[in-house]
Chain A
Amino acid sequence: QSELTQPPSASGTPGQRVTISCSGTRSNIGSNYVNWYQLLPGTAPKVVVYSNNQRPSGVPARFSGSRSGTSASLAISGLQSEDEADYYCAAWDDNLIGYVFGTGTKVTVL
């Protein structure tokens, strides 16, 4: 099962901007929407960006997403301590006929 490639870690001080990349192929990110999920220990995963750049109600405006070609990114502007979590990108893959997740990025607030 192929995966989307993310950096293993990212960090910043409170108030800084952090960006997480997600690299895929033409059959997944290049052809389909990208979604981003936040995992906090002991809690249910939560979508923070869907359809490349849409933010669900209740998700702070400091979260934003974008897609270009076969890559996508999640930006957290004005980093806050509660943003410390694992983040995963995901997309449908036309070759696998299924979903692929990113390798995951641990965001640390210094």
Chain B
Amino acid sequence: EVQVVQSGAEVKKPGEPLEISCKVSGYIFTNYWITWVRQMPGKGLEWMGMICPGDSDTRYSPSFQGHVTLSVDKSINTAYLQWSSLKASDTAIYYCAKRSTGATTSDHWFDPWGPGTLVTVSS
């Protein structure tokens, strides 16, 4: 069974760094991209980017490029989302998910998802 476990809630101050994690099991980690999605309070889902655990190739949404960093540790089947300097506007739930694929290269969807990590940034 494929499982996605995310790190616990965080409360940080503006300007502080943060790294949250996404640990997967039940499949070959390096074979499937991991994607990250943000949900700000009371708002919809926003795609942040994705990383290929096999070679750490990354794709970022223009909205998040330069503000977050995606990485992986293949030895422990874990993906990371990192900020070097948080802002209050980073307060949100962050989801990671395995990008599942179908018969063609353009056929992909997010499944399963992790339960999300709530990040609160407040002075």
Identity of the chain B residue whose Cβ is nearest the Cβ of A100 in the assembled complex: B47
Q: Does A75 sit at the interface, judged by CB under 8 A?
A: no
Q: Does A110 sit at the interface, judged by CB under 8 A?
A: no
Interface size range on A against B: 20 to 34
Across-interface contacts of B45 in A (CB, < 8 A): 37, 39, 45, 88, 90, 101, 104
A sample of 30 inter-chain contacts (CB < 8 A) reads A1-B46, A1-B61, A3-B44, A33-B109, A35-B109, A39-B45, A44-B95, A44-B113, A44-B116, A45-B45, A45-B110, A46-B111, A47-B109, A47-B111, A50-B102, A50-B111, A51-B102, A56-B111, A88-B45, A92-B108, A96-B62, A98-B47, A98-B61, A98-B62, A99-B61, A101-B46, A102-B44, A103-B44, A104-B44, A104-B45
Q: Does B107 sit at the interface, judged by CB under 8 A?
A: yes
Q: Does A43 sit at the interface, judged by CB under 8 A?
A: yes
Q: Determine if A97 and B59 form an interchain contact, defined as CB atoms under 8 angstroms apart.
A: yes
Distance in angstroms between the alpha carbons of A102 and B37 in the assembled complex: 13
Distance in angstroms between the alpha carbons of A46 and B97 in the assembled complex: 10
Give A contacts to B, CB under 8 Å: 1, 3, 32-33, 35, 37, 39, 43-47, 50-51, 54, 56, 88, 90, 92, 96-104
Q: Does B63 sit at the interface, judged by CB under 8 A?
A: yes
Q: Does B35 sit at the interface, judged by CB under 8 A?
A: yes
Identity of the chain B residue whose Cβ is nearest the Cβ of A45 in the assembled complex: B113
Q: Determine if B111 and A99 form an interchain contact, defined as CB atoms under 8 angstroms apart.
A: no
